[in-house]
Amino acid sequence: MNCFQEAKRIVVKVGTSTLTYETGMINIRRIEKFVKVLADLKNSGKQVVLVSSGAIGVGVGKLGLFEKPKDTPAKQAAAAVGQSELMQIYDNAFSLYNHTVAQILMTKDIVESSKRRTNVINTFEQLLSMNVIPVVNENDSVSTEEIEFGDNDTLSAVVAKLVGADALVIMSDIDGLFDGNPRDRENAKLIPVVKKIDKRIETMASGTGSRRGTGGMITKIQAAKIATAAGIDVAVISGENPYTLYKLFDGEAVGTHFVRQQL
Ligand code: GLU
């Protein structure tokens, strides 16, 4: 058995570019597949925490805006519209498989205050013991620079640490970490395993990003650094076909595996 097969408590992060089409509208087919796999992983005995972006993206679509607004109040308003829509989508989709979801919206100050951190950990524990799937996002509508995580890759690593996850999976719009940018270099090769995140790895990751998401590969590497240092195995895989998650948890080598550090 490999570490992903053995993992009991998993955090899965999905980004806006996986959840939406190029048009900015929600990719219903993909979300339905994704939810089905998560529900099934839960049925197989794993505890699942979902970190989902998409509040701003879904809000932009729902408000009929052409693109993501640049100013903060408009972004925060779009997030407020989108977050409730997003939860409604998850709630409906998971209900089909008899699973209950709960919304947890985070800001950085929660993690920095020991009292509030303990509080949110207790909430996560309680939800997981009640067999609920917590769906986490940043509380974008109230976040200001001082209290924001900025991107959900980092948030997912923080959440993985808070809940003491065994594994963190970051679904991306790219197959994993490559030794060059596969969008401009045809022969760029996927790196299947990273044992240590050093300068060389960080350099490889810089410059690869997506148009609709917030972070590029670099924020994923930073997240992997936080999580692996806390003894959590991390996989960065493509979110294009959610069934890839089955392969990962069946023990197949997919994407890039960032190996947890020994504590
Ligand atoms: N919290 C943001 C949203 O839901 C996304 C941040 C990110 O994608 O990293 O739209």
| Nearest residue to 220 (alpha-carbon basis) of 257, 165, 250, 261 | 257
CB 39 within 8 A of CB 50: no
What predicted TM-score, i.e. pTM, was given to this entire model?
0.95
Indicate which residue's Cα is closest to atom 5 of ligand 1: 53
Q: Which residues line ligand 1 (CB under 6 A)?
A: 15-16, 53-57, 79, 137-138, 140, 151-152, 213-215
* Cα 187 to ligand 1 centre (Å): 31
CB 78 within 8 A of CB 54: no
Q: What is the pLDDT of residues 8-37, one digit of tens each?
A: 999 999 999 899 988 878 899 999 999 999
Q: Is the pLDDT of residue 208 over 70?
A: no
Whole-angstrom distance, CA of residue 236 vs CA of residue 170: 5
Give me the pLDDT at residue 214, please.
57
Size of the chain, expressed as the number of residues it contains: 263
* Cα 14 to ligand 1 centre (Å): 10
Whole-angstrom distance, CA of residue 105 vs CA of residue 159: 11
CB 235 within 8 A of CB 2: no
Q: What is the pLDDT of residues 171-201, one digit of tens each?
A: 998 999 998 877 777 888 999 999 999 999 9
Q: What's 251's DSSP letter?
A: T
Q: Which residues of 48-66 are buried (b: 16+ CB within 10 A; e: fewer)?
A: bbbbbbbbbbbbbbbeeee
* Cα 121 to ligand 1 centre (Å): 21
Pocket-testing residue among 18, 50, 56, 149, ligand 1, by greatest number of atoms within 8 A of Cβ: 56
